[in-house]
Chains A and B, each alone.
Chain A
Amino acid sequence: MSTANHAATRSTGSAATPRGATRIRMDGVRKRALDIGRNRLLVTGAVILLAFGSVGARLVDLMITDGSTLVRTEIVKPGSRPVVSRADIVDRNGFVVATSLPISSLYADPSKILDASEAADRLISVLPELDRRVLLEKLQLERQFVWLKRGLTPEEKYEVNRLGIPGLAFRREESRVYPHGPLLAHVVGYTDTDDKGIAGVERQFNDALAGSAEPLQLSIDIRVQSLMRDELVRAVEEFGAIGAAGVVADIETGEILAMVSLPDFDPNIAGSAGDESAFNRVTKGVYEMGSTFKLLTAAMALDAGVVDITGGYDASKPIRVARFTITDYHPENRWLTVPEIIIHSSNIGSAKMALDVGIEGQQDYLRRFGMLSPADVELPEVGAPLYPRRWREINTMTISFGHGIAVSPLQLVGGIAALANGGVLRKPTLLARRTSDAQLLGERVLKPRTSEIMRGLMRLVVTRGTGRKANADGYMVGGKTGTADKLGAAGYRDDKRIASFVGAFPIQAPQYVVFAMVDEPKGIKRTFNYATGGWVAAPVVGNVVAAMGPLLGIQPTQDQEDERPLVAEAARFVKTWGRDGEAQ
């Protein structure tokens, strides 16, 4: 309608002659008024349309599409993220040995506290362990945040909430918990207050643990670990020792089932790890192992072919080299066969055997056994072995019976495992491993035949030599005792020693290697004042084997008949048998 009007007006205007100029002016005025009115109408209409349109759109938005601009409660898909931020550590059977648990920590916003003095009084009434003066100072700080107490129990949290003091609030935190306390202190290690691993596996695998939800599975079996720890604790108490170490490892895979170092600490209690107790004797400590090294010496001599099982050495007289004299603890004073050297633990025989192997031969074999390089295991605390830089004949002789070289117990365990398992050295590991992987990682260091002879000798040490207390009926332990005097400021001391036993079982087809070491045991009446490997460490191994055998379902053997093929040959060359526990 307005368009028609407009067109009419226009046509009137254009058709007008100059004669009707006033008319045109009047037309112009009307037209302007009309235009203004129409424009205003249009604008108003548009605005109203826009307003209604947007209201309508919002209505549709709210009702049909449920208003994307409205803040919806965040829905966490269940299971989409881990419960805690640091992964668990579990043993080989899946028992949790380290986990993070959510805890509540109490903090205050002092700017919102109305009456600091009253708030402090009321807080003390439910948290009596807080110091009022310190608390009051904190509540009066010119800040918006101050910690009052970390890690409240649910009961404490409830009580604080019940007080209803404004300005107090809780923050969810995580704290690392070790359900088994000191049992695995040196293996698992611990974390600092910021959940960063600072020792043991926690440190070694810190990044993996922090960035994953998958639990880390160790090779440790807490049952075996507990057996070993109990036995060592008993030995330390009985013999007044300053410390002890123990290892149980799978001989075929290198998996460590138990690793105990005493004294230990409770990783749950921050700061409980002192210098002495935090020290891992199994991996970090290196010790002169003493007679257990004779097994290595015999193995290298037999393997290199410098002597065979029928051969022997004259051990009738002490060896004098320069200012050293090498004597036997219980001298037989006669010619000894190789089996006799092991059974009587003859230093003289071992020294002569090592000389036959030669300095380079000995170094080469020790290197192969892993005695000259630090144990390669998944722990940050690993000690390097100590051995002479200039390796002379006298060194070769003393090293043959375990003096003048210091290795970590884990190194020795690895070497003895290779000796007993058919001659293959495998990397020890703290992680659960499949048998198939381990097969690839082995490195042959001895002939299978040498290993077989060594197993026979190890068995004889336990049945008729110095290691009788390591015997466990039905499980055929074989091994070797060791007693080494500790090096003091003025040479070797005969009142401070390290007693150890290393063995494998069941010796006719070994499955596990077991090691126990007691540091500075003192002789007691029951042991006739002896504090040797045979009296102190061998019973530990015997008891551990007797308990873990049935636990791990190892088929018991008929000792007498099953061991005959293994030991018969060596036994033919033994004239006299060792005394129980006495020799080194």
Chain B
Amino acid sequence: MFRIATLISMATGALLAVFVFAIKYEVQDLEAEFSRLSRSIERERQAIHVLTAEWSHLNEPARLRALARDQLGLDQISVDRLRALDRVPLRAVPELIGDPEDENNAGTALAAAPSPTPATPRVAAKVPSPDDGLARIEAALREMSPGGPPE
């Protein structure tokens, strides 16, 4: 009886020792990893700091203006190219040819356009038209425009 108890407690002790050492080494590894990551984060923060300065330097307005002019052929926007949205003449919705069922579908397509439900692809598949995307954009534009749908 006594010997069994001794054996069990010795085995338990040994197990615990192994366990403690395993944990200890794991913690050591984690700490090393943590310190490595911390250092690398610090390095990245420094790099970000320097890059922000460079970003600002590269964004110097005079430089951008020269680049836009020389490389892209862009120039200062003139005021006659600016219009309020309600003064923009919108293109009419393309008329859909077909039977009333198609018309129904077109209506559904417009109504369902903003919703991401799978209903839309089904309808779109039934009315394969390259103007479908345009119609959605126009629908969205009409939504925004206070002047109501154009003719």
Binding site for B on A (CB under 8 A): 63-64, 66, 73, 75-79, 83-84, 88, 95-97, 99, 101-102, 177, 179-181, 183, 222-223, 225-227, 230, 472-475, 546-547, 549-550, 555-556
B37-55 at interface with A (beta carbon < 8 Å): 37-39, 41-42, 45-46, 49-50, 52-55
Partner of B49, one of A64, A84, A179: A84
Q: Which of B76-84, B93-101, B131-139 has 4 or more CB atoms under 8 Å from chain A?
A: B76-84
How far does the alpha carbon of A555 sit from the alpha carbon of B86 in the complex, in Å?
Answer: 13
Taking a contact as CB atoms under 8 Å apart, the answer to whether B24 and A99 are in contact is no
Complex interface: chain B residues within 8 A of A225 (CB): 61
Supposing A64-B20, A179-B53 touch, asked if A223 and B45 sit within 8 A by C-beta, the answer is no
Complex interface: chain B residues within 8 A of A472 (CB): 79
Taking a contact as CB atoms under 8 Å apart, the answer to whether B53 and A546 are in contact is no
Distance in Å: Cβ of A91 to nearest Cβ of chain B? 9
Taking a contact as CB atoms under 8 Å apart, the answer to whether B76 and A546 are in contact is yes
How far does the alpha carbon of A73 sit from the alpha carbon of B36 in the complex, in Å?
Answer: 11
Partner of A75, one of B31, B50, B57, B82: B31
B12, CB-defined interface residue at 8 Å: no
Supposing A230-B62, A473-B80, A555-B84 touch, asked if A96 and B42 sit within 8 A by C-beta, the answer is no
B51-81 at interface with A (beta carbon < 8 Å): 52-57, 59-62, 65, 76-80
Can you list 9 A-B pairs with a CB-CB distance of less than 8 A? A75-B35, A76-B38, A78-B45, A83-B49, A96-B53, A102-B50, A180-B57, A181-B60, A472-B79
How far does the alpha carbon of A88 sit from the alpha carbon of B59 in the complex, in Å?
Answer: 17
Interface centre among B46, B62, B77 (most CB of A within 10 A): B62
Taking a contact as CB atoms under 8 Å apart, the answer to whether A556 and B82 are in contact is yes
Supposing A75-B31, A226-B62, A555-B84 touch, asked if A177 and B38 sit within 8 A by C-beta, the answer is no
Binding site for A on B (CB under 8 A): 20-21, 24, 27-28, 31, 34-35, 37-39, 41-42, 45-46, 49-50, 52-57, 59-62, 65, 76-80, 82, 84
Q: Which residue of A lies closest to B50 (CB)?
A: A101
Taking a contact as CB atoms under 8 Å apart, the answer to whether A183 and B60 are in contact is yes
How far does the alpha carbon of A122 sit from the alpha carbon of B4 in the complex, in Å?
Answer: 77
Taking a contact as CB atoms under 8 Å apart, the answer to whether A83 and B45 are in contact is yes
Taking a contact as CB atoms under 8 Å apart, the answer to whether A473 and B79 are in contact is yes
How far does the alpha carbon of A32 sit from the alpha carbon of B82 in the complex, in Å?
Answer: 118
Supposing A75-B35, A102-B46 touch, asked if A63 and B24 sit within 8 A by C-beta, the answer is yes
Complex interface: chain A residues within 8 A of B20 (CB): 63-64
Q: Which residue of B lies closest to A475 (CB)?
A: B79
How far does the alpha carbon of A95 sit from the alpha carbon of B82 in the complex, in Å?
Answer: 27
How far does the alpha carbon of A78 sit from the alpha carbon of B77 in the complex, in Å?
Answer: 45
Complex interface: chain B residues within 8 A of A227 (CB): 61
Q: Which residue of B lies closest to A97 (CB)?
A: B56
How far does the alpha carbon of A475 sit from the alpha carbon of B59 in the complex, in Å?
Answer: 27
Complex interface: chain A residues within 8 A of B39 (CB): 76
Distance in Å: Cβ of A127 to nearest Cβ of chain B? 23
How far does the alpha carbon of A278 sit from the alpha carbon of B80 in the complex, in Å?
Answer: 40
Taking a contact as CB atoms under 8 Å apart, the answer to whether A179 and B60 are in contact is yes
How far does the alpha carbon of A181 sit from the alpha carbon of B82 in the complex, in Å?
Answer: 33
Supposing A95-B59, A97-B56, A183-B60 touch, asked if A78 and B41 sit within 8 A by C-beta, the answer is yes
How far does the alpha carbon of A361 sit from the alpha carbon of B54 in the complex, in Å?
Answer: 54
Taking a contact as CB atoms under 8 Å apart, the answer to whether B45 and A73 are in contact is no
Taking a contact as CB atoms under 8 Å apart, the answer to whether B38 and A64 are in contact is no
How far does the alpha carbon of A555 sit from the alpha carbon of B28 in the complex, in Å?
Answer: 63
